[in-house]
């Protein structure tokens, strides 16, 4: 197994290299990486429903879709990402226990009583420290997960949408859990880099055939291109996924408003805004607009019924 320590902290590139190694190789890999702050949504989720649109927009936190299913996870420089890419036999490909067991055994070796709970969570006691997801490509499995070591739990909490009741969709929901950082239990590591080094050393000594591997120039170039053409695009991150209806009622300028948006492929296909009668002209202007903050602002700011540009978040 080829063991890779990613030097990149770019979440777009790091997701892209997983896909390149999954689809363009028959080798097996273990990858350990750390990303800059980002929200990573599951392949079959509605991004706006899962993330706090106002917070991630104002704080310029990228929202990126991965190729695996499951729920939304938060990445930052206190969160370690582990990835296994392996050959597999048809009929036994989805196996969270198989791929989390080496991680759990590593944590047990440090004195942490970790365990797999439910389908895809690693917990210490009753608190979650790791979420996991998988993707099948032919006879290969991509399994990746997170380990909360010293992540900003405040940033995590602010970035995830809490009230999802305004969104009606068949998209996959996240399963929120109470979480903790491992650093609370581990006193022997100065930082996450030391923790990553210890984890890699453990795998190199305990996984059959494990050896250090450096990405080739071709693999790097292919991942850089995929990061630009796929993982850093609105079409993949926001437009992909099931259609949804957004409904909200709000009070603005001394009047009651209500809105209903039907969004498919990221585009507002139907729009109804009511304010002492339907606002037909504004509703019509929004049809065909991307359901994104600045796109909608550009269309309706001059209509004059917003006090500040922050009022646009009533449509998210």
pLDDT band, residue 19 (cuts 50/70/90): very high
Whether the per-residue pLDDT at 135 is higher than 80: the answer is yes
pLDDT digits (tens, 9 = 90+) for 62-110: 999 999 999 999 999 999 999 999 998 776 677 888 899 999 999 999 9
Q: Hey, what are 240's tokens?
A: 């992909």
d(CA 312, CA 248): 12
pLDDT at 262: 98
- The CATH label, of 3.30.390.50, 3.20.20.70, 3.30.450.150, 1.10.4030.10, for the domain at 244-315 is 3.30.390.50
pLDDT band, residue 3 (cuts 50/70/90): very high
pLDDT at 297: 95
Q: Is 8 left (phi over 0), alpha (psi -120 to 50) or beta?
A: beta
Q: Residue 32: helix, strand or coil by DSSP?
A: strand
pTM across the whole model? 0.94
| Cβ contact 90:139 at 8 Å | yes
Mean pLDDT over each residue of the chain, to the nearest integer: 94
Whether the per-residue pLDDT at 118 is higher than 90: the answer is no
Domain ranges (residues) in the chain: 2-239, 244-315
Q: Residue 104: helix, strand or coil by DSSP?
A: helix
Q: Hey, what are 269's tokens?
A: 């296909």
pLDDT digits (tens, 9 = 90+) for 196-215: 999 999 999 999 999 999 99
Q: Residue 167: helix, strand or coil by DSSP?
A: strand
Whether the per-residue pLDDT at 130 is higher than 80: the answer is yes
CB count, 10 Å around CB of 47? Answer: 24
Nearest to 96 by CA among 70, 116, 66: 116
- The CATH label, of 3.30.930.10, 3.30.2130.10, 3.40.50.920, 3.40.50.1820, for the domain at 2-239 is 3.30.930.10
Whether the per-residue pLDDT at 152 is higher than 70: the answer is yes
Whether the per-residue pLDDT at 254 is higher than 90: the answer is no
For the segment 216-232, the average pLDDT, to the nearest whole number, is 98
Q: Rg for the chain (alpha carbons), in Å?
A: 22
Whether the per-residue pLDDT at 306 is higher than 90: the answer is no
pLDDT at 91: 67
| 78-105 b/e (C-beta count within 10 Å ≥ 16 → b) | bbbbbbbbbebeeeebeebeebbebbbe
Q: Hey, what are 87's tokens?
A: 């050959």
CB count, 10 Å around CB of 132? Answer: 21
Count of CA atoms in the C-beta half-sphere (13 A) of 242? 15
pLDDT at 278: 62
């Amino acid at each position: 197994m080829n063991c890779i320590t990613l030097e990149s902290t770019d979440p777009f590139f790091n997701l892209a290299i997983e896909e390149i190694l999954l689809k363009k190789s028959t080798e097996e890999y273990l990858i350990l990486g750390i990303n800059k702050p980002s929200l990573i949504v599951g392949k079959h989720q509605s991004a706006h429903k899962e993330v706090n649109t106002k917070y991630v927009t104002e704080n310029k936190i990228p929202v990126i879709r991965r190729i695996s299913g499951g729920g939304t996870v938060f990445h930052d420089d206190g969160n370690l990402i582990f990835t296994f890419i392996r050959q597999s036999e048809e009929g036994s490909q989805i196996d969270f226990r198989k791929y989390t067991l080496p991680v759990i055994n590593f944590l047990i070796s440090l004195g942490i009583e970790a365990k797999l709970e439910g389908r895809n969570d690693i917990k210490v006691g009753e608190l979650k420290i790791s979420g996991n997801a998988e993707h099948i490509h032919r006879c290969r499995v991509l399994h990746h997960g997170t380990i909360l070591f010293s992540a900003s739990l405040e940033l995590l909490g602010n970035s995830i949408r809490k009230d999802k009741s305004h969104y009606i969709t068949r998209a996959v929901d996240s399963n929120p859990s109470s979480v903790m950082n491992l650093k609370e239990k581990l006193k022997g590591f100065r930082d996450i880099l030391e923790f990553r080094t210890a984890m890699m050393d453990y795998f190199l000594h305990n996984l059959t055939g494990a050896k250090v591997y450096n990405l080739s120039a071709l693999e790097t170039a292919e991942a850089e291109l995929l990061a630009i053409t796929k993982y850093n695009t609105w079409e993949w991150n926001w437009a992909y996924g099931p259609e949804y209806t957004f409904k909200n009622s709000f009070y603005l300028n001394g009047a009651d408003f209500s809105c209903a948006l039907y969004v498919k492929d990221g585009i507002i296909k139907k729009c109804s805004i009511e304010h002492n009668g339907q606002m037909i002209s504004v509703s019509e202007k929004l049809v065909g607009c991307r359901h994104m903050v600045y796109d909608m602002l550009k269309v309706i700011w001059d209509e004059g019924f917003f006090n500040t540009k922050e009022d646009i978040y009533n449509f998210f």
